[in-house]
Amino acid sequence: MNTRLLAGVAIGIGLSGSVYAALLGFESADVLLGDHTFPKLHIWQFQDQTHDPRLFVSNTAGSDAMDSPSFFYSLVRAGNTGPHAPLSSAIRSEGGGDVVGGIFYAETEGTSVAYGVNPHAATYSGAPAVGMEVNGINLSGNPATVRGIDIVNGGNASTQWALGIETSTAQPAGIPSIGIALAGQTLNYADAPARDTGLFIDHIDSGEAIRIQAGDRVALNNEGTIYFLYNPGTNRIEFYHGQALKFAIPM
């Protein structure tokens, strides 16, 4: 038995309950904790991409409740300041190797929903809470391909959407005031949200770039007093200033 397995056995004996060394021939990790569940990850062309992890924690869910093989929790007591994070990771490349700070993956072969990542941020005091912040930073001194977030859908059949914004059915009182905000000075941010184009839409297969519901309006000023809409009752495109109809185009 090699030293890695001995370390796994020693740690397994020292831990209680369902946390013990998994020794089913999976010897590529330095420390193995769990219940003999070998990783079965179909991601990336159905190839196992665990790549000899230094720590492998395995778990087979045993109940209908939340069952997590690992959990990190920190308490920041009153009077403490500064940023705190219970879980962090970092990686640096100094050559031609691509790097990823963290990978989250979920798959389903049944009727349940798979969430790759499900972040939450809640406020009980009214202080700001941000569910997820994504930063793309260019420190090269030259223009670079830096993107805050890329959403890539794929597979062997069509998918529903790449970005969805919904209101919680369980807590609908938290409906947002603005669905998508390109926030700048009007919303008290010092700089403009973009330099050249606020919203760019490339060619769409169907040719339909934007669709809104009949009766909803498109405002052309910040106050929302100048707008146009399609009125299904009159079958016209109507232009308004306040409540006054200024122009209409029969359809």
Per-residue pLDDT, 136: 95
Using CA atoms, how far residue 70 sits from 7, 18, 57, 120, 182, in Å, is 19, 12, 8, 17, 37
Q: Using one digit for the tens of pLDDT, what is the confidence trace for 90-108?
A: 999 999 999 999 989 888 8
Closest residue by Cα to residue 19 from 5, 2, 32, 3: 32
| β pairing state of 236-241 and 244-250 | antiparallel
244: part of which helix (H) or strand (E)?
A: strand 244-250
Per-residue pLDDT, 66: 79
Per-residue pLDDT, 45: 63
Residues 27 and 2 sit within 8 Å (Cβ to Cβ):
yes
* Average pLDDT of the residues of the chain: 86
* Residue-wise DSSP of 186-237: GGT-SS-S-SS-S------TTS------TT-EEE-STTS-EEEEEETTTTEE
Q: Which residues of the chain have pLDDT under 50?
A: 1-27
68 contact partners, CB below 8 Å, separation of at least 6: 59
User: Per residue in 22-47, is it b (16+ CB within 10 Å) or e — as a string?
Assistant: beeebeebebbbbeebeeeeeeeeee
> How is the chain split into domains, by residue range?
1-61, 211-251
Q: pLDDT > 70: what percent of the chain?
A: 83
As a whole number of angstroms, the distance between CA 198 and CA 236 comes to: 29
Cα-based angle 220, 223, 227 (whole degrees, multiple of 5): 35
Per-residue pLDDT, 247: 98
CA dihedral 167, 171, 176, 179 (to 10 degrees): -10
As a whole number of angstroms, the distance between CA 158 and CA 128 comes to: 37
